[in-house]
Amino acid sequence: MPKKILVVEDDRSMTVLLGKAILDVFSDAEIQWASSLEQAVTQLIQNTDISEKAPYDLIIADIFLEGNGTGLDLWKVLSGTYPNIPFMVISSISKDQVLNAVSEEQKKSLVYLKKPFLFAQCKQSIRNILLEK
């Protein structure tokens, strides 16, 4: 069964890179895109079914997005609703800054990739997350 991944990123060049990394690791992956918190929430609602199965195998989100809200806001909401969906945060801010913005419980499951990152690092992070599932 193909992996279903939601990428929440407002930088077009970064979406191209992330899409290529995902497809290099899982060539049959189904990727959905959002550039804002609002779009991501809409995607989640549209892809949630009555079986209560998690709508995605992985969510990758930048911290700073278009509009109101951040990738961390999305993670905070999802960690309560779908605690089993792996969530990878990408940003140019330091990991310490990210850790200061989340709860102790969330720190345990933080997967963080600092921009700029190497393409190989991105692929390895995606592979590690999805193969752990």
Q: Which distant-in-sequence residues (6+ apart) come within 8 Å of 39 by Cβ?
A: 8
**C-alpha dihedral over 97, 89, 47, 56, to 10 degrees?**
-130
Q: Which distant-in-sequence residues (6+ apart) come within 8 Å of 128 by Cβ?
A: none
Chain segment 66-80, per-residue pLDDT in tens: 999 999 999 888 888
Q: Which distant-in-sequence residues (6+ apart) come within 8 Å of 40 by Cβ?
A: 6, 8, 34, 59, 61, 74
Q: Tokens 């933080």 — which residue? A: 110
Chain segment 18-57, per-residue pLDDT in tens: 999 999 999 999 999 999 999 999 999 888 876 667 899 9
pLDDT for res 52: 65
Which pLDDT band, with edges at 50, 70 and 90, does 97 fall under? confident
Domain with residues 4-132, CATH architecture: 3-Layer(aba) Sandwich (3.40)
Helices marked H in 10-132 — which ranges?
12-25, 37-46, 71-81, 95-100, 104-108, 119-132
